[in-house]
Amino acid sequence: MAARLPRPRRFDAYAASAGLLGGLLLWGIGLGVRPADEPIVLFDGRWPLLVPLAVMAGCELLRRAAPRTGLLIGTAALIADTLTQGSLVTVIMYTDLMYAAVLYGPPASARRIPWITGLLTVAGTVVPFALWRVPEALLVGVAVGIVSFAPASTGLIVRNHREAADAALLRAEQTALLAEMDRVQAVTAERSRMARELHDMVANHLSAIAIHSTAALSLDDAATTRQALGVIRENSVEGLAEMRRLIGILRDSGGDTEPAPAPTLDGLGALVDGARANGLDVTLDADPGDHLPAPVELAAYRIVQESLTNALKHASPGTVRVRLDRHDDALRVEVTSPCGDRDTPRAPGSGAGLVGMRERAALLHGTFEAGAVADPGPVGGKIWAVRAALPLTEGDLA
């Protein structure tokens, strides 16, 4: 089945109609381009020039729908027009076809047509002058340049400007898209960071409250109940203070009040004392060295805090060992506890603790592992070990 030409645009139909009517008007008043007695005029009379005029007007319908086809047919119509008395409107419509072929045609045609018309202009200037040796022969090249090279060059300039504008618009859209992606990623990262902080700050205290409240409800002993209520009160007060600190960070205080500083490794002693108050047997061996980056200190503190919380909920009776040491430009954190043999934990958990610790290590380009391993001690058996290596000179320490 033969391919059908695209439907012409409305503006092109208007241009074709205007060209045809203008040509008929000039033909009606008897205005032609050449006198009838010129040697080049092979078809004498006024009627023959209407054929190239009508064909050129039909080509105007193709100026955007099929610009190369319109230009080829228009070139043949222009050659036929030169063999008659000619019509000025036919020449004007041809210049528009040349312009449209470069502007709307394929990129290859847009590059080649200006070169071809430029060479034709040079040839139309040099060859007639070499043959006739009169200055008037140069006008042939001028006419060829006006009809072909000038509209082709104009179309190329306009096309280049349009492509540059489209490229600039595309870059602007891509920049806006990248900015939006960065914003979404920043919001997501900040939400993840705040979720880790909230979990690490509050989960320890709430776990202790849940465990001791369960003991107070299950044991009918006044002394045990009183001790459990004391632990509950202490953890609730500390948890409330941590929540207020987090709210202080989030709230805009207008610059008058600085939020409480982030915890550092100097607070490990108080953290271990709190775990002991909750019933854990904890030993601390910490030699982190001096001048640690603040993100490393915060990550190490939170990993130890979450590990103690997990030991409180899951570990069997026994000693929980916390060890920190500096080795090969990295701070190594290790927390071990006896593996629990309970069917369910002593307090409910969300499972986000291990994820948060792994994320903290990954943000510093460190390593993290947690799982049951063989106990190297004399007793043997299994222990739960949390190990993290936090680089001090690499990673995202911002």
268 and 390 in a common domain: yes
Is residue 191 included in any domain, yes or no? no
Domain with 42 in it = 10-173
Gap between the Cα atoms of 183 and 116, Å rounded: 51
Q: What is the mean pLDDT of residues 313-342?
A: 83
277 and 128 in a common domain: no
Strand partners, 80: none
> Which of 141, 173, 205 represents a domain boundary (last residue)?
173
Is residue 240 included in any domain, yes or no? no
> Which of 173, 197, 231 represents a domain boundary (last residue)?
173
Q: Which residue would you say has higher pLDDT here, 53 or 308?
A: 53
155 and 21 in a common domain: yes
310 and 169 in a common domain: no
* 338 closest CA partner among 315, 322, 357: 315
> Which of 157, 173, 189 represents a domain boundary (last residue)?
173
Gap between the Cα atoms of 105 and 152, Å rounded: 11
| pLDDT value of position 396 | 46
Between CA 90 and CA 96, with CA 95 as vertex, the angle to 5 degrees is: 95
158 and 25 in a common domain: yes
Is residue 288 included in any domain, yes or no? yes
Helix (H, G, I), strand (E, B) or coil at 37: coil
Count of the separate structural domains present in the chain: 2
Q: What is the CATH number of the domain that holds 357?
A: 3.30.565.10
281 and 392 in a common domain: yes
151 and 50 in a common domain: yes
313 and 168 in a common domain: no
Gap between the Cα atoms of 74 and 271, Å rounded: 90
A 10 A CB-CB count for 179 gives: 10
Is residue 212 included in any domain, yes or no? no
Report whether 69 contacts 75 (CB < 8 A): no
pLDDT at 81 over 60: yes
**pLDDT tens digits, residue range 23-62?**
999 998 988 777 766 767 677 778 888 999 999 999 999 9
**pLDDT tens digits, residue range 116-170?**
999 999 999 999 889 888 888 888 899 999 999 999 999 999 999 999 999 999 9
271 and 395 in a common domain: yes
268 and 169 in a common domain: no
168 and 24 in a common domain: yes
Is residue 81 included in any domain, yes or no? yes
Report whether 64 contacts 104 (CB < 8 A): yes
Report whether 294 contacts 357 (CB < 8 A): no
Q: Which two tokens stand for residue 95?
A: 């210049």
Is residue 217 included in any domain, yes or no? no
Is residue 256 included in any domain, yes or no? no
pLDDT at 214 over 90: no
166 and 276 in a common domain: no
Backbone phi and psi for residue 227, each to the nearest 5 degrees, phi listed first: -65, -40
Q: What is the mean pLDDT of residues 346-356?
A: 63
**pLDDT tens digits, residue range 223-239?**
767 777 777 777 777 77
In the Cβ-directed half-sphere of 45, how many Cα atoms lie within 13 Å?
Answer: 5
Helix (H, G, I), strand (E, B) or coil at 61: coil
